[in-house]
């Protein structure tokens, strides 16, 4: 952690210097705008309440002229109606309720039809990358990759090469988990990346460190987007829905966006969960979209009913691995989607899912044929089945069923209070069963699994 901080501090200094150098050598042009906010009231310098993990190089537009990377929207920002005073309640609430407050953020409005001329088709590829996310948006004048697969695989670069990708204008890491930024280094090494977005939420994992190192070693610009900002990447409009400020948790800080091509809109929320969905509603963002990528691989901790109602999608797509140990997508989510009459696609069933649009209508193609149905009986036995895959302890691991009060605290996110609670709640049937402990939700559980020292063995 300390090394990280030092590393990042050095990096910030280095990047600041390189910014100055670049600005000095770049041909004169308009005021640096590739990532400027669309509202004059909100200068870039006030976007973040926290020092970015890397110096934003948004002042440093890519030198390429083929892509007006991000140009300021010329439309005046719409003043949104204030968030409803009694906002709908999501069924899953693990954080404090969101109080809508007066804010300088201007939620994007897409009530007026897009003014962006769209002359060719955009294809959105929900790539089948197992229990991970990687979504490619490829249009006539933009190539954007949202997340880059799992750190244990090497499947994203071959996919992109097969699809003819040579350059990526924008690479978004929705959050720091290893199933989202896992192959950032390979992607950055193999393609010219114009710009990278991360939330700014730091993480202690080696996967995160490697991703940061790769970004630093590249020429990519870097930015930390905030809710209410709007950008144009070629003919694609991007509205940032989340986060507004950083909390310090990967899922709570997850970058969520709405991408609009002509009149066809997509919402991508990464692993944002119900409380974050609730925040997006409370901020008054225009969430309606024809296509929704279900949050957190179709987990029941995301896709709360008010959010589904607000997005009101015709198509829902989730990315999940076949027979994954998390039980994603959860039956409750499938039930909700199907009962709303929304067509559902999943990479575990359909392989890669491709949606092609000319900006007014869209078509869907999948690698495999399939039909997603919720099993008739909703069970809660996933924990016992996952015990088989995650059970057993290697030497040096900490058996949560037998470890001492002190040893338990070597596990990430486990302090004295949770260590005691773990002892009280024993036995645990699987690592996933740790979500019975107060304060351990899906995001922290992912951290614990990634850290790899906790295991479930015999409780004797
Ligand atoms: Zn995650
Ligand atoms: Zn994930």
356 & 387 share domain = no
* 199 Cα to the center of ligand 1, angstroms: 13
CATH number at residue 450: 1.10.150.320
355 & 392 share domain = no
230 & 319 share domain = yes
* 234 Cα to the center of ligand 2, angstroms: 28
Enumerate residues with CB within 5 Å of ligand 1 (an ion): 177, 271
Enumerate residues with CB within 5 Å of ligand 2 (an ion): 179, 271
287 & 432 share domain = no
Q: Give the Å distances, CA to CA, from 183 to 30, 133, 348, 456.
A: 34, 10, 20, 29
Total domains, the chain: 2
Pairwise pLDDT comparison (194 vs 112), residue with the higher score: 194
* 297 Cα to the center of ligand 2, angstroms: 6
76: CB partners within 8 A, 6+ apart: none
pLDDT recorded at residue 423: 86
Q: Relative to the alpha carbon of 446, which ligand is closest? A: 1
Judged on CB neighbours under 10 Å (0-12, 13-18, 19+), 264 is buried
Distance, in Å, from the CA atom of 97 to the CA atom of 75, rounded to the nearest integer, reads 33
The length of the chain is: 460
Say which range, 208-212, 406-410, 430-434, has the weakest mean pLDDT: 430-434
359 & 421 share domain = no
Q: What six digits make up the tokens of 176?
A: 């720091």
269 & 311 share domain = yes
* pLDDT tens per residue, range 307-339: 999 999 999 999 999 999 999 999 999 999 999
361 & 398 share domain = no
Print the domain residue range for 307: 2-75+118-366
> Is position 61 within any domain?
yes
* 149 Cα to the center of ligand 2, angstroms: 9
294 & 422 share domain = no
> Is position 373 within any domain?
no
Distance, in Å, from the CA atom of 239 to the CA atom of 267, rounded to the nearest integer, reads 9
> Is position 107 within any domain?
no
* 328 Cα to the center of ligand 1, angstroms: 12
> Is position 333 within any domain?
yes
Whether 290 contacts 362, CB under 8 Å: yes
265 & 399 share domain = no
* 358 Cα to the center of ligand 1, angstroms: 32
> Is position 203 within any domain?
yes
> Is position 202 within any domain?
yes
User: What is the average pLDDT across 92-111?
Assistant: 36
Q: What percent of the chain has pLDDT over 90?
A: 56
* 78 Cα to the center of ligand 2, angstroms: 33
* pLDDT tens per residue, range 10-51: 343 344 333 332 233 333 333 333 333 333 333 333 333 334
Q: Relative to the alpha carbon of 321, which ligand is closest? A: 2
362 & 404 share domain = no
* 239 Cα to the center of ligand 2, angstroms: 21
Q: Relative to the alpha carbon of 176, which ligand is closest? A: 1
Q: Relative to the alpha carbon of 203, which ligand is closest? A: 1
User: What is the average pLDDT across 152-164?
Assistant: 97
Q: What six digits make up the tokens of 135?
A: 């979504």
Last residue of a domain, which of 335, 366, 397? 366
> Is position 178 within any domain?
yes
pTM for the whole structure? 0.68
Last residue of a domain, which of 307, 341, 366? 366
386 & 353 share domain = no
* 255 Cα to the center of ligand 1, angstroms: 11
265 & 348 share domain = yes
CATH number at residue 361: 3.60.15.10
* pLDDT tens per residue, range 209-239: 999 999 999 999 999 999 999 999 999 999 9
- Would you say residue 380 has pLDDT above 90? no
* 295 Cα to the center of ligand 1, angstroms: 10
* 333 Cα to the center of ligand 1, angstroms: 17
* 316 Cα to the center of ligand 1, angstroms: 19
Q: What percent of the chain has pLDDT over 70?
A: 70
């Amino acid at each position: 952690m300390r090394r990280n901080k030092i590393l990042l501090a050095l990096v910030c200094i280095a990047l600041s210097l390189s910014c100055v150098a670049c600005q000095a050598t770049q041909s004169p042009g308009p005021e640096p705008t590739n990532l400027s906010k669309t509202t004059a009231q909100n200068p870039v310098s006030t976007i973040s309440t926290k020092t970015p993990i890397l110096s934003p190089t948004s002042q440093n537009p890519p030198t390429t002229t083929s892509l007006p990377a991000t140009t300021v929207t010329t439309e005046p920002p719409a003043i949104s109606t204030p968030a409803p005073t009694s906002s709908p309640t999501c069924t899953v609430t693990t954080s404090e309720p969101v109080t809508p407050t007066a804010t300088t953020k201007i939620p994007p409005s897409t009530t007026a039809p897009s003014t962006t001329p769209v002359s060719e088709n955009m294809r959105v590829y929900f790539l089948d990358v197992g229990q991970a996310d990687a979504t490619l948006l490829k249009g006539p004048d933009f190539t954007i990759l949202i997340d880059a697969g799992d750190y244990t695989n090497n499947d994203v670069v071959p996919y992109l090469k097969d699809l003819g990708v040579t350059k990526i204008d924008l690479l978004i890491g929705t959050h720091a988990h290893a199933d989202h930024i896992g192959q950032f280094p390979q992607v950055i090494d193999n393609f010219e990346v114009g710009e990278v977005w991360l939330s700014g939420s730091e993480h202690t994992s080696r996967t995160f460190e490697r991703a940061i190192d790769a970004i630093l070693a590249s020429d990519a610009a870097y930015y930390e987007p905030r809710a209410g900002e709007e950008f144009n990447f070629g003919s694609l409009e991007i509205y940032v829905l989340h986060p507004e400020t950083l909390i310090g948790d990967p899922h709570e800080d997850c970058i969520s966006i709405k991408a609009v091509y002509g009149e066809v809109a997509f919402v991508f929320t990464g692993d944002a969960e119900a409380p974050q969905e609730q925040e997006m509603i409370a901020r008054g963002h225009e969430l309606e979209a024809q296509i929704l990528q279900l949050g957190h691989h179709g987990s029941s901790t995301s896709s709360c009913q008010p959010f589904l109602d607000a997005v009101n999608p015709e198509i829902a797509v989730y990315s999940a691995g076949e027979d994954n140990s998390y039980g994603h997508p959860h039956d409750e989510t499938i039930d909700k989607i199907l009962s709303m009459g929304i067509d559902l696609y999943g990479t575990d069933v359909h392989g890669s899912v491709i949606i092609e649009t000319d900006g007014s209508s869209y078509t869907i193609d999948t690698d495999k044929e399939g039909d997603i149905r919720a099993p008739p009986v909703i069970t809660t036995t996933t924990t016992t089945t996952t015990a088989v895959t995650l059970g057993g302890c290697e030497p040096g691991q900490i058996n949560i069923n037998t470890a001492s009060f002190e040893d338990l605290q070597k596990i990430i996110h486990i302090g004295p209070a949770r260590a005691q609670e773990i002892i009280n709640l024993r036995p645990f049937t699987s690592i996933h069963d740790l979500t019975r402990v107060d304060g351990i939700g899906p995001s922290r559980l992912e951290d614990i699994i990634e850290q790899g020292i906790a295991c479930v063995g015999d409780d004797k």
